[in-house]
Structure 1
Amino acid sequence: MSDFLKQFGEDLKNNVPGFIAVAVTEIKSGISYFSLSVDKKFDPELASAFNLEVVKAKLNAISALGLDDSIDDILISLNNQIHLIDVSENNEYFIYLAVDKKHANLGMSKALLNKYKQDIKSKI
């Protein structure tokens, strides 16, 4: 599994303007399948662990409200960064992507993430 995830991470790093970090994390266990950061101070696995709680809380809210719906993505906009949490259609894993707000474009970041996640969708 690691080879296609490494390629996924490299594709994002090389093609998403303002790329900071990415992680792919299983929702049920919290295990990170893959992580990559261009900033030594930014730990995407730690960030994913905290964002896992956000994902679980939203999934619980959807269930409690009796909604027949699922999470597509969660956007967290900080002063200097954009954090995208893209949840898989089957709610088994999520992709966490952090980009620098000065160099990134939200629409392009989402489009490129969607493009490259198609490559891993059937393999996880």
Structure 2
Amino acid sequence: MSNFLEQFTEDIKSNVPGYIAVSVTEVSSGVCYVSHSNSPTFDPEIASAFNLEVVKAKKNAIKALDLDANIQDILITLNSQIHIIDVSENGEYFIYLAVDSDKANLGMTRALLKKYKKEIVSQL
């Protein structure tokens, strides 16, 4: 498993323009399986802990509204960054990715995350 996650992190760092940070977190336990940042002041594990609360709140809202739906991703646009919380189809994991909004191509980034999250579910 760790080799897969190390390779996943390297692929994200190499293939996502504007990459800032990434992590993979289990929703039920909050365990962060892997994290990396290219900035010493950006801690993706702390960000993941807060984003876990965002995912749980959205799941509760979906349940309260009695919607027959699952979260695919949550997009947060800041002044200079884009943060994507990409939830696996089974809802057990999420990939958190932060990118520089001036350098990132949102469509390409989301397409790569879709590919990676399928691999994560099959590996974890």
TM-score after normalising by structure 2: 0.96
Is 1:55 the counterpart of 2:55 in the alignment?
A: yes
Is the 1:8–1:119 Cα contact (8 Å) retained in structure 2? Answer: no
| 1:85 alignment partner, SS class | strand
Unaligned runs of 5+ in 1: none
Q: Percent identity?
A: 69
1:19-38 CA deviation, whole Å, 9 max, x = no partner?
01100001111110110111
Unaligned runs of 5+ in 2: none
| Distance (whole Å) between structure 2 residues aligned to residue 38 and residue 16 of structure 1 | 12
**Which letter does structure 2 place at the counterpart of 1:53?**
E
- Give how far 1:95 is off: 0.5
Q: For the aligned residues, what is the CA RMSD? A: 0.9
| Distance (whole Å) between structure 1 residues aligned to residue 70 and residue 115 of structure 2 | 20
**Which letter does structure 2 place at the counterpart of 1:99?**
V
Q: Which has the higher contact order (CA 8 A, sep 6+)?
A: 1
1:9-48 CA deviation, whole Å, 9 max, x = no partner?
1001001000011000011111101101111111000000
- Alignment map for 1:6-85 (pairs within 5 Å): 6-85=6-85
| Distance (whole Å) between structure 2 residues aligned to residue 89 and residue 106 of structure 1 | 20
TM-score after normalising by structure 1: 0.96
